[in-house]
Amino acid sequence: MTYIAKPQFHHPSLKHNALGFTRRDYEGKVSTLCAGCGHDSISAAIVQACFEIDLEPHRLAKLSGIGCSSKTPDYFLGASHGFNTVHGRMPSVLTGANLANRSLIYLGVSGDGDSASIGLGQFAHAMRRGVNMTYIVENNGVYGLTKGQFSATADKGSKSKKGVVNSDSGIDMVGLALQLGATFVARSFSGDKDQLVPLIKAALTHKGAAFIDVLSPCIAFNNHKGSTKSFDWVREHNEAVNRLDVLMARMAVTASYEPGSLTEVTQHDGSVLLLRKVAEDYDPTDHAGAISYLQHAHAAGEIVTGLLYVDPEAEELHDALGTVKQPLNALPDEELVPPVAALDKINAGLR
């Protein structure tokens, strides 16, 4: 049922991608979030990333839970089907959708309340199952939609807008995702588009469970002094381990990078991740190293960003289940309903 998309006519000066789409073809409805909300920057980054990797907008399915962050799928890729599920349980719905049709691209968008509190269990299991998806947490350390309660990712000792000090330790979603077996793990900042866009591109081309924790300040409830998720705090404590470029399989690899400062990772689909190393000793394919690096940085009060781990040979849930290549939702009756002769045999075996 794939259709060759008709390029829509926009201002001729707008750049077109290989499919003939402009960036505007990847936009959605006008956002109703607070002006300046970090989540809107993430939506913009998703639009940019999808445009740049020449994704057919309708072939992406976007799913979310409940929260300000989970509203955002309405604000990008208007040509895609979207599903605002229930609070915290997007991962299972995405898993089911993926089981039904493995040929689409799945993007899950969630909040830190959504994923780290009510949905922590589902988050964990989607990661360990290796569901082929990109899972973005728009992490602001608070519940935005319900007006400012601490979320489970709020750091111990950080202060709410009303001056209350958080006494529980914060959950590090990146550390969790690594432990749980996600095969692509990254962190970024909504205010750092240069880093975020390539990470989303890489995650979308990754086969397997790709997780990106995006620090995304809530200007209404968590952008004050004392918050460790404010724009200023994140800028001051951001420690990037690498900078990324993604080259799609059909693009020629240009040798415009300095050897020695580069790591090249080729993924299943042939896409190449070019990592300009910032931290010299950082190897994003070393799982144990990533965990340890993260812990050291955390102790030093740094927020590590960049591509922290990738397994370019990752398998995904369908490989484990051994499902046919054809989407299950497209199998015709004759491939699903066994012949009557089979039933007769079953009957005979039950006498």
Partner 1 sequence: MTRPITAVNDFVVKFANVNGSGSASANGLFVKAILRMGVPVGARNIFPSNIQGLPTWYEIRVSGHGWLGRRGGVDLMVAMNPQTWDRDVAEIEPGGYLFYDSTKPMPSSKFRDDITVVGLPLTALCNAAYAEPSKRKILKNIIYLGALTFLLGIERAVVEALLAEEYAAKPALIPANIEALQIGFDHARDHLKPLGLKLRRADAVGDRIFVDGNTAAGLGAVYGGATVCAWYPITPSTSLAEAFTAYCRKLRHDPETGPDGGGARYAIVQAEDEIASIGMVTGAGWNGARAFTCTSGPGVSLMQEFIGLSYFAEIPGVIFDVQRGGPSTGMPTRTQQSDILSAAYASHGDTKHVLLLPEGPNECFEFGALAFDLADRLQTMIFVMLDLDMGMNEWLIEPFRWDEDRVLDRGKIMTAEMLEAGADFGRYKDVDGDGIPWRTLPATHPSKGSYFTRGTSRDPYARYSEEGAVYVDNMERLLRKFETAKSLVPPPIVRRAARKTSYGVIYYGSTSPAMDEALAGLEADGVAVDALRVRAFPFEGEIFEFIAAHDLVFVVEQNRDAQLRTLLINEGGVDPARLVKVLNYDGSPITARFIQAELAKGMGVPKARAGEMVR
- In the stretch 177-216, what mask flags binding to ligand TPP with x, by CB under 6 A? ----------------------------------------
- CA dihedral sign of residues 280, 283, 289, 292: positive
Residues in contact with ligand TPP, total (CB under 6 A)?
A: 18
Q: Does 9 bind partner 1 (CB under 8 A)?
A: no
Helix (H) or strand (E) holding 122: helix 120-129
Q: Does 219 bind ligand SF4 (CB under 6 A)?
A: yes
| CA distances (Å), origin 103, targets 126, 244, 329, 332, 345 | 18, 26, 10, 16, 35
Residues in contact with ligand SF4, total (CB under 6 A)?
A: 11
Site for ligand TPP in 44-83 (CB under 6 A): 66-69
Q: Does 18 bind partner 1 (CB under 8 A)?
A: no
Q: 3-state DSSP call for residue 234?
A: helix
- Check if the beta carbon of residue 48 is closer than 8 Å to that of residue 17: no
Residue placing its CB nearer to partner 1 in the complex, 132 or 230? 132
Closest distance to partner 1 from the beta carbon of 328 (Å): 4
- Distance between CA atoms of 237 and 251, rounded to whole angstroms? 35
Listed ranges 9-17, 105-113, 296-304, 339-347: which one lies at the site for ligand TPP (CB under 6 A) = 105-113
Longest alpha-carbon distance in the chain: 76
| Residue 351: DSSP 8-state | -
Which residue among 34, 79, 120, 219 contacts partner 1 (CB under 8 A)? 79
- Burial of residue 50, with CB atoms counted within 10 A of its CB: 0-12 exposed, 13-18 middle, 19 or more buried: buried
Listed ranges 5-13, 53-61, 137-145, 282-290: which one lies at the site for ligand TPP (CB under 6 A) = 137-145
- CA dihedral sign of residues 140, 244, 61, 131: negative
Residue placing its CB nearer to partner 1 in the complex, 115 or 195? 115
Which residue among 17, 92, 179, 263 contacts partner 1 (CB under 8 A)? 92
Closest distance to ligand SF4 from the beta carbon of 233 (Å): 16
Closest by alpha carbon to 138, among 27, 230, 212?
A: 212
- Distance between CA atoms of 45 and 273, rounded to whole angstroms? 18
Q: Does 151 bind ligand TPP (CB under 6 A)?
A: yes
Q: Does 146 bind ligand TPP (CB under 6 A)?
A: yes
- In the stretch 29-68, what mask flags binding to partner 1 with x, by CB under 8 A? ---------------------------xxxx-x-x-----
Long-range contact pairs involving 323-327 (C-beta distance under 8 Å, separation at least 24): 323/99, 323/102, 325/102, 327/100, 327/101, 327/102, 327/103
Residue placing its CB nearer to partner 1 in the complex, 121 or 270? 121
- Ramachandran area for residue 20 (φ above 0: left; ψ -120 to 50: alpha; else beta): left
- In the stretch 37-76, what mask flags binding to ligand SF4 with x, by CB under 6 A? x-x----------------------------x--------
Q: Does 144 bind ligand SF4 (CB under 6 A)?
A: yes
Q: What is the contact surface with ligand SF4 in residues (CB under 6 A)?
A: 33-34, 37, 39, 68, 140, 144, 218-221
Contact footprint for ligand TPP (CB under 6 A): 66-69, 87, 111-114, 138, 140, 142-146, 151, 218
